[in-house]
Amino acid sequence: MATFIVLLGPPGVGKGTQAKILAETTNLAHISSGDLFRENLKNQTELGKLAKSYMDKGELVPDDVTISMIRDRLSRADCETGAILDGFPRTPAQADALEKMLTGFKGKVDYVPFITAAKDILVERASGRWTCREQGHIYHQKFNPPQKVGICDIDGSELYQRDDDKVETVSKRIKVYLDQTMPLVEYYRQKGVLVEIDGSQPVDQVTENLLAALKK
Ligand code: AMP
């Protein structure tokens, strides 16, 4: 049976960083809704243009387009054994839609690591973040700098600062998270799949705690 892990937590807490590490460790596909929107934006698709208008304001892209993008992604062969979902679901409607999609895989959401940290840490992490243009590898100017300024250690592509990682937009994204995504914490707690992880620690420590929690 397939295994599905949903990473839940505020913007800037390190979901993307941990999702990439977990995907390598577990061999499951990594599905990041934010990366999918950014890829569409880079390829100038209609979806990308639509998403940009919401992303620039720090708001959520409407549920219908987001859900159908994830449905398409989950139908690809690399998801047959499961996936790590990073940034999706972000609303109760998305969580319901995901549950229905996964019945098609005879699967369900198995684990939901809920990664948290205080607001000042989130703002500092997101606003110092540098992202790789090619594959979305994540760096931080202070906590995890690349070996060469502006260049991804892994694939050599350019690093850029996301428009929505500016301090004002990060604060707006945190507010949107509190209003629209926080209800999912209770939703998954009720289902008995929520695992709380302290995201304020260094990357390696968070990974260690995450893997230990998943092994249990
Ligand atoms: P992220 O890379 O996860 O921080 O997402 C960046 C932006 O993409 C968000 O601020 C939203 O505008 C949009 N986005 C990503 N995932 C979702 C989602 N599940 N639902 C709606 N909008 C999303």
Whole-number mean pLDDT of the chain? 94
Of 33, 72, 173, which is best to mutate to test ligand 1, by the most ligand atoms within 8 angstroms of its C-beta? Answer: 33
In order of their start, the domains of the chain are 2-118+181-215 (3.40.50.300)
* pLDDT, position 216: 78
Among the listed residues 209, 30, 211, 208, the one whose alpha carbon sits nearest the alpha carbon of residue 136: 30
DSSP assigned state of 193: -
Ligand 1 close to Cβ of residue 88 (< 6 A): yes
Mutate to test the pocket of ligand 1, among 61, 84, 169 (most ligand atoms within 8 A of CB): 61
Q: Does 131 sit in the ligand 1 pocket, CB within 6 Å?
A: no
Taking the model in full, what pTM does it have?
Answer: 0.94
Question: For residue range 67-88, what is the model confidence (pLDDT) as tens digits?
Answer: 999 999 999 999 999 999 999 9
Instruction: Return the percentage of the chain with pLDDT > 90, whole number.
Output: 92
CB 102 within 8 A of CB 4: yes
Cα–Cα dist 212/107, whole Å:
23
pLDDT tops 90 at residue 122: yes
Reported as a single tens digit per residue, the pLDDT across 93-112 is 999 999 999 997 778 999 99
